[in-house]
Every structure is written in C-alpha cells, then in structure tokens.
Amino acid sequence: MKMRRSATVVAAVGGMLSIAPVASAQTANSQTDGRDYEALAYVPNDTLVTLGYFRAVSTSDVQSFSQSVGVFRATYVLKFGDLAIVPFDALLPVVDATVYAPVPMSPGLTTTLHTSGVGDATYLPTIGYIIRENDKTHTHTYVAATTYVTAPVGSYSSSQLVNIGDDRWRVQPQVAIGQRFLQALTLDLIGSVAFYTDNTNFGTGAGQPVVTLKQNPTVGFEAHATADIDPTFYLGVSYYLAAVGRRDITSAVVPLTVLDPEQTLQTLRFTYGIRVEKQTLILLQYNQDIEATGGASLTRFIGARISHALFL
C-alpha cells in the first residue's frame, strides 16, 4: 500500500513539475526590452513612469496551455547629473490561465484546469550611469545594475495543480551595458542570476502530501538591437537565453525525491515601437521560444506595452 501511494505521489509530482510553473512563467517579468536602460539617459530628474503590459501566451507541445497576462508597473527616476537612481520600481501581474494537463497514472487522458488571480509582486530598484560621448548625435554608453526582488504575495494553494504565485522568494541581480551610435542604433547586453528560497508548501493536489521544492540558481543573458526608422517609429529584435536551475522536490511523509533536469530556453522577441508623443510610447511585440532542452515547453506570445512619463 505504501509503495502504491509513493508511486501515485511520484506521478502527481512529476506532473506538478511541468504544470505548476506555467501560470507564473510570464509574470515574473524579469526580462527587459530594448532601450529600457537607455531611457535613463533621456528622462529628466523627478520623473514618474507608468507602464501597462498585456500578453496572450500559449503553447501546445510538451505542455498545452494559454494565458492572458496583464502587468501594472510604476517607476520613479531621480537624476544627479549623469547618475540615475530608481529608488522605486514595482510591478504586479494579473493572470488568467487555462491548462490542458495529463491525468496522472492514466496515459492518454487529459483534464482542463483553469485559474486566475494576482501574481507575485516584484520590486526592482536600479542605479545607472551615462557616459556621454557626443551630445549633438546623442552618442553615449551606459552601465546599470538592477536587483529584482519578487515576494510570494500571489494566489497560491498547495491543493491546486496550477497556481499563479510561486509561494517563495526570488532575488535576481542584473547588470547591463549599452551603446548608442550612428544617431539611430542602440545595442544592449544584460546578464543576470536568479536565486530562490524553498517552497515548503509545494502540494501535489488531490489530497496528496505536501512536499518541499528547491531550485538551483537560474542564469540569464539578453541581447537587444534597436534601430530608428524615423523620430516616431523604431524596430527591435531581442535574444534571451535562460539556463533554468534544476528543481528538486522531497517529502518527509513518504520516501520521495524527484529531480527535475536542468533546462535551457532560447527566445526571440520582435518589437515595433511607436512614440505617440514625447511622453508616451507603445510597443507591439511578438515573442517566440526557438529552442528548449530538459523538457521545457516552447511558448509564444503577442503583446503590447504602453508607457507614459510624468515630469514632476
């Protein structure tokens, strides 16, 4: 009886490893867009920026799910000459997710799971420095550092197979360097490492025992290239590489250790920027994962981002 129960738990946990993260996969929002850091070179001191994101996310390979994601964000910028400090930058995602999940111990059968709610909130202060090389052509180099701190305030229940929140803390330091040249082109290179606390309330659903989820650090790299078409429009392409840390889950109730393999994910994002007026920018985007290993799913989204700056 104990062996049978353990097998059931292993099957349920195996499903959890692939299902549970999907509702939050696009909500941590720790990826940047091209020219995000360069904006620090242009905005004046005492600027408040409000941003809204919408993304329609889907996949149908290793996993099968769809999500509607909205992210609300506010940023406050202080300038001291060429030094920029962002003491307040916070975002809150809202997610509606539908997952078509395999039924444990029943090959070929699937069930539809639906959930919606508020995701984990992230606070991401930044410090950056602008090295101005030619003010007439707006040629400059910039370096910056950000720390993403994601708090477990999102919707979460250990009895559910799909959750919006992660029920754990996430800290991700990030460094960036960028170059503006030829009065129209901008290149950004960004690296990051994400660290996680343990989720000690990682349930397997269906009345199974609660287990503990641990995860190794995740290493990320981003490269952005953007080019002005004219003063009102620009085009951008972004490349993202994530080496997702291995996830381990253990249970003290039954003998159980499940090791999820390390995963890598490569992604391309295409952006069309529209400057409505001096203080308002709209980004129209298409995002597509192009390669995945370790059982990761290839997702895609179409989305829009609008930002408006208030000069206080």
Q: How confident is the model at residue 13 (pLDDT cuts 50, 70, 90)?
A: very low
Q: What is the average pLDDT across 277-296? A: 93
Q: How far apart are CA 100 and CA 22, in angstroms?
A: 11
Lowest mean pLDDT, pick from 95-99, 135-139, 291-295: 135-139
Cβ atoms < 10 Å from Cβ of 45: 13
Beta bridge partners of residue 93, listed in sequence order: 71
Q: Note the pLDDT of residue 253.
A: 66
pTM: 0.89
**Largest Cα–Cα separation, the chain:** 77
Q: How far apart are CA 300 and CA 121, in angstroms?
A: 23
Q: Note the pLDDT of residue 7.
A: 40
Q: What is the average pLDDT across 39-63? A: 90
Q: How far apart are CA 228 and CA 303, in angstroms?
A: 20
Q: Note the pLDDT of residue 6.
A: 41
Q: Note the pLDDT of residue 204.
A: 54
What's the CATH architecture for 2-311? Beta Barrel (2.40)
Lowest mean pLDDT, pick from 58-62, 211-215, 251-255, 291-295: 251-255
Cβ atoms < 10 Å from Cβ of 55: 22
pLDDT digits (tens, 9 = 90+) for 113-160: 888 999 999 999 999 999 998 877 778 999 999 999 999 998 888 777
Query: What CA dihedral angle connects 257, 258, 263 and 269, to 10 degrees?
Result: -120
- Per-residue pLDDT for 273 more than 70? yes
Cβ atoms < 10 Å from Cβ of 30: 19
Q: What value does the mean pLDDT of the chain take?
A: 85
User: Measured between alpha carbons, how far is residue 52 from residues 70, 90, 253, 283, 291 in Å?
Assistant: 7, 12, 44, 10, 28
Name the phi and psi angles at 120, rounded to 5: -75, 135
**Cβ contacts of 69 within 8 Å, gap of 6 or more:** 26, 27, 53, 54, 55, 56, 57, 93, 94, 95, 301, 303
User: Measured between alpha carbons, how far is residue 45 from residues 19, 86, 219, 303 in Å?
Assistant: 44, 10, 33, 30
Could you tell me if 35 and 188 are in contact, meaning their C-beta atoms sit under 8 angstroms apart?
yes
- Per-residue pLDDT for 310 more than 80? yes
Could you tell me if 128 and 142 are in contact, meaning their C-beta atoms sit under 8 angstroms apart?
yes
Tokens of 130: 């602008």
Could you tell me if 279 and 260 are in contact, meaning their C-beta atoms sit under 8 angstroms apart?
no
The larger pLDDT score, comparing residue 228 to residue 164, is at 228
Q: Note the pLDDT of residue 104.
A: 66
Ranges of each domain in the chain: 2-311
- Per-residue pLDDT for 21 more than 90? no
Q: Note the pLDDT of residue 135.
A: 73
